[in-house]
Amino acid sequence: MDINEPTTHQCHGDKFLKFVLEAVNSGILILNREQVIVFSNSKARKLISPQNSLVGLPFKELFPEEDREILATNLIKMAEKNGEFEGDVMLMRRDGQGLISRISIAGWKDGRERTFVITISDISRLKDIERLLKSSDRMIYLGQMLDDISHQIRNPVLAIGGFARRLMTTRLERPEYVKVIMEEARRLELLLEVLTRFIQLPRPSFALYKAQVIIDMIAELAKEICSEHEVSLRLSTLYDSRVEVVTDITLLKKAVEAVLINGCEACLEDSNQAFVRICFEQAGERPWSLKVSVEDSGQGIRPPLMERIFHPFFTTKTGHLGMGLTFTKRIMEEIGGRIHVESSLGKGTKVTLTLPGDRRKPIRTTPL
């Protein structure tokens, strides 16, 4: 039945049906048995192709290129099998812009004829609100950091000001004052540099990588850092070469670098047998793909302090800022990964970073 081109045999009921379909405040498409669009109401055209008709266009052409052969076909098959399908998918406007949509598909069979009715709702604004809420959480976190920042900056500034005032009344007979000023100034500069990098962390740019690419990058970085700290490096790999990881490799490198430096510095507290062990293993459950564990031979973390390890500026090491694990945790949140820390007093600390694989659901990647 082609509602757009009524024949003389179509009755008043067909005209009324067309009126109803146009009155609905959702995009509506009707497909024939070949999954080609034979009708689209004005709302559907406005959502997908304001300038051109959708009639005659294969249904799969509404999807991004990577989803046309599998996802589009799977949705129709699910509607045939279950009588209907409803879910959120990414469609493509005819101008190439993405459209986050909630679609429902209902199949109707009359003898040998098969027809599919599809409704489309634009949920882009809802997704924007979700992202805004997540962003608000980050802003609250950064706001809480400001109190810590002001405290951390205040102490060096007071020291600099106090010793500078003393210098004004002396003939530099106490050069150690100048040394203190220089040390506190350097600490302040380092603090501001770290905070700037933390707050201005760029948005992730995701790509799909073979696990071996990630492993090679981390192994090379670990060799460099361990060599600088004169710490022995041990590597262990237990993974399937077919494993793939979705991440921003530049941000991931920064996260791993902070963990490695933390581990090496912990080892130096007991340098007799200082080593860092890195283990790569396949994550067991979707959507996780690869686990990267960094274990050091240091003295470990006392249990009462474990709950504070991700707090900004928390450190037990003299002269350190305490931003390493805070920085790593922020990056792992941004790239959709996880971080877990376990420590045994006198035996060392183990930091595990878990990275996601292809998050696409099987309906997008596996034909039914």
| Residue 111 confidence (pLDDT) | 75
| Residue 151 confidence (pLDDT) | 66
Run of H or E residues at 351: strand 348-356
| Residue 302 confidence (pLDDT) | 86
Given the DSSP bridges, would you call strands 98-110 and 207-210 parallel, antiparallel or unpaired?
A: unpaired
Instruction: For residues 80 and 5, give the distance between their C-alpha atoms in angstroms, rounded to a whole number.
Output: 26
Residue 249 CB partners (closer than 8 Å, separation 6+): 207, 209, 213, 214, 217
Q: How many CB atoms lie within 10 A of CB 350?
A: 18
Contact 358, 244 (CB under 8 A): yes
Contact 49, 62 (CB under 8 A): no
| Residue 238 confidence (pLDDT) | 74
pTM of full prediction above 0.95: no
| Residue 138 confidence (pLDDT) | 61
| Residue 323 confidence (pLDDT) | 74
Burial class (CB in 10 A: 0-12, 13-18, 19+), 175: exposed
Instruction: For residues 142 and 333, give the distance between their C-alpha atoms in angstroms, rounded to a whole number.
Output: 14
Nearest C-alpha neighbor of 330 from the set 220, 216, 194? 194
Three-state DSSP class for residue 313 = coil
Q: From residue 309, how far is each of 95, 100, 205 by CA, in Å?
A: 49, 39, 28
Q: 151 has which bridge partners?
A: none
Give the ranges where 200-248 is alpha helix by DSSP (H). 211-229
Q: Which amino acid is at 239?
A: Y
Q: What own/partner pairs with CB < 8 Å and gap ≥ 24 does 314-323 have?
A: 317/265, 319/187, 320/265, 321/152, 321/190, 321/191, 321/194, 323/194, 323/195, 323/198
Residue 325 CB partners (closer than 8 Å, separation 6+): 258, 259, 262, 309, 310, 339, 341, 351
The parts of the chain modelled with pLDDT lower than 70 are 1-13, 127-147, 149-151, 154, 168, 172-174, 239-241, 269-272, 313-314, 316-322
Q: How would DSSP label each residue in 103-123? A: EEEEEEEETTEEEEEEEEEE-
Cis peptide before 304 (omega within 30 of 0): no
Contact 326, 194 (CB under 8 A): no
Instruction: For residues 276 and 265, give the distance between their C-alpha atoms in angstroms, rounded to a whole number.
Output: 10
Three-state DSSP class for residue 211 = helix
Instruction: For residues 4 and 53, give the distance between their C-alpha atoms in angstroms, rounded to a whole number.
Output: 10
Q: Which amino acid is at 366?
A: T
Residue labelled with tokens 């022995």? 232
Domains of the chain are 12-122 (3.30.450.20), 124-200 (1.10.287), 204-368 (3.30.565.10)
Instruction: For residues 79 and 61, give the distance between their C-alpha atoms in angstroms, rounded to a whole number.
Output: 18
Three-state DSSP class for residue 291 = strand
